[in-house]
Amino acid sequence: MKPKRKAAILRYLLPVPGLALALLLLVLLPKPGPNGPVAAHSGDVFGPACGAATVNGEVDASEWSSAAAQTFAMQSGGSAPALTATLHVMNGANNLFLGITINDDEFSTVGEFLSGGDSFRIDFDNAHSGSIFVPGDDVLVANAGFPQFEDSYIDADPAPSSSEADVNAGGTTDGAAATSRLADLNHFEIRHPLCSGDPQDFCLYPGDTVGFRLEYLDAEEDGSFGGSRFFPGSTANSVADIVIGTCATPDLFFYLPLILK
Ligand SMILES: [Ca+2]
Ligand SMILES: [Ca+2]
Ligand SMILES: [Ca+2]
Ligand SMILES: [Ca+2]
């Protein structure tokens, strides 16, 4: 509908206040983007923020001082009590960094159901569609135990939320994670390239927005599963956003010593 046509209809309907208001909202509210409706996004937006962290499992206040940060309750969606987490987000020239602390009452590196112990699973909404679990969406896992980092993607087998390691689809493990227990909080730090070139990863540029949902899977001291907690919500349409900054911060990492011959 062209703007002039909308205005004419509004003038005609102005004597009907409720209808006129509804039509006005229809005209003014943002339209769905090319990737679908935007209504599912929670409104929690992190960034843009520039910086790089040392991924050693210690979310140190000084190294994350330039990050976008928010403290929130992570709800179970069931009867388990909420946990409180603080998420820090920033990016350098080449990498996205996530630093999370959570007030779990203990730090487990192994469990019966959770072989890697306490764990954060981060589901990304690559295309900012308003929904996670789209096949191909990037998935990162940081475990208290082994392996500390898993770079995965949604393969939806079985549907909807199953993930598979990138390496099992011809891709590569890109990034790192490290965890530790410090001052009654479990600390998780994660690094992942903004654009690794791996089809099983997202590819983000400055100014891009990517959706995400956090899931914390709690392993108890006796090895039992203490349940999942979520942010911003437990459904596939619960999505917060990260805006990638235009950042020159050098953040290239080398894990092996360069051997000069
Ligand atoms: Ca650190
Ligand atoms: Ca990858
Ligand atoms: Ca991936
Ligand atoms: Ca735990």
Q: What is the CA radius of gyration of the chain?
A: 21
**Amino acid, res. 83:** L
Distance 200 CA to ligand 3 centre (A): 5
Nearest to 108 by CA among 231, 216, 245: 216
Q: For the chain, what are the domain ranges?
A: 1-30, 45-243
Q: Which ligand is nearest to the CA of 119?
A: 4
Averages of pLDDT over runs of 10 residues in the chain (261 residues) are 46 49 46 45 93 96 97 92 97 97 96 93 96 97 97 96 97 97 97 97 98 97 94 95 95 58 43
139 CA from centroid of ligand 2 (Å): 9
Q: Which helix (H) or strand (E) holds 163?
A: strand 163-165
If you measure from the C-alpha of residue 114 to the centroid of ligand 1, how many angstroms do you get, rounded to a whole number? 24
Contacts for 164 with CB less than 8 Å, ≥ 6 apart: 152, 153, 155, 157
- Distance (Å, rounded) from C-alpha 146 to C-alpha 113? 14
Please give the pLDDT value at position 3.
Answer: 47
CA–centroid distance, residue 221 to ligand 4 (Å): 7
Q: How many CA atoms lie within 13 A of 54 on its CB side?
A: 6
Ligand 1 ion: Cβ-proximal residues, 5 Å cutoff: 53-54, 56, 58
Instruction: Give the torsion sign (CA, 103, 105, 109, 115).
Output: negative
What is the 244 CA–ligand 2 centroid distance (Å)? 19
Q: How far apart are CA 245 and CA 47, in angstroms?
A: 7
For residue 171, report the distance from its CA to the centre of ligand 2, in Å: 6
Instruction: Report the predicted TM-score, pTM, of the whole model to 2 decimal places.
Output: 0.82
Ligand 1 centroid to residue 56 C-alpha, Å:
5
Distances, alpha carbon 127 to alpha carbons 74, 137, 211, in Å:
24, 8, 8
For residues 77 and 222, what is the distance between their CA atoms, to the nearest angstrom?
23
How is domain 45-243 classified at the architecture level of CATH?
A: Sandwich (2.60)
Separation of CA 191 and ligand 1 centre (Å)? 11
Contact 155, 200 (CB under 8 A): no
Task: Return the pLDDT at 118.
Answer: 97
Token pair 């009907």: residue = 16
* 68 token code pair: 């976008």
The pLDDT of residue 25 = 46
